[in-house]
Amino acid sequence: MQIVLLTLLLVFSIAADSWADIYRYVDDNGVVCYTDAPLDKKAKRVVKTESPVIQGDAPGSSTSEDIRSIVLDKASKYELDPSLVHAVIKTESNGNPRAVSRKGAMGLMQLMPTTASDLSVRNPFDPEENIDGGTKYLKYLIERFNGDLILALAAYNAGPKAVERNGSVPQITETKQYVKKVLSLYNGRTVLPVSSAGSRVPSSVPRNEPIYKVLTEDGSVLFTNSPHYSNKKTTPRL
């Protein structure tokens, strides 16, 4: 029996910043929701905000001791250089655990909703869960592209299928700039040893499903991988 999990995110507001805690709950259809408006009594707060939440880049704490400790642990677990993981975190979110991109990517390593779900990341705003999922996915991509870090980073940004179709880094300005920035921060080898330790991820991760943006009647923005959710008008984002 195939179980389909639709993971979606209710972004805080259309404004650039706002005050908002983030809650997680599962609705009657089994859809996992992240929202700043907990309509369900069983909603669990996963992020407590004591200052304005800023979408996108914000002054972060990627050099803080707690995140350094998590990175060291996960990098060792998946046999990656911790400096590489730090470089990805700096480029993706500037070290902000609450970062949310306009496309719906979440947390320190900016996991898309479907990817987070497939990697069993229940709370993408929790630094340890997010870094574990992001490092595992990065390791998987390095294995998939035979140790070629440049292609793996391009796939982290644009998706593995886009890299495979192009045969190299896709001619996408954002992706080229992304790879260049990570490598400049990392300043390490671009060809890495390949092993199978810890790199296995669910086969559904590379499917590269589209994420849709829904503007609800109250002005909230909703990201979902279902274009038919609540019969709302949707716009493809990826």
**CB distance 170 to 158 below 8 Å:** yes
pLDDT tens figures, 127-179: 999 999 999 999 999 999 999 999 999 999 999 999 999 999 999 999 999 99
**Does pTM top 0.85 for this prediction?**
no
Q: Any idea which residues carry the catalytic annotation? A: 92
Max Cα distance, the chain (Å): 51
Say which range, 6-10, 22-26, 134-138, has the weakest mean pLDDT.
6-10
155: nearest Cα among 95, 212, 107, 201: 201
Q: Which domains are present in the chain? A: 7-236 (1.10.530.10)
DSSP lists the bridge partners of residue 34 as 9, 24
pLDDT tens figures, 72-110: 999 999 999 999 999 999 999 999 999 999 889 999 999
| pLDDT reported for residue 29 | 67
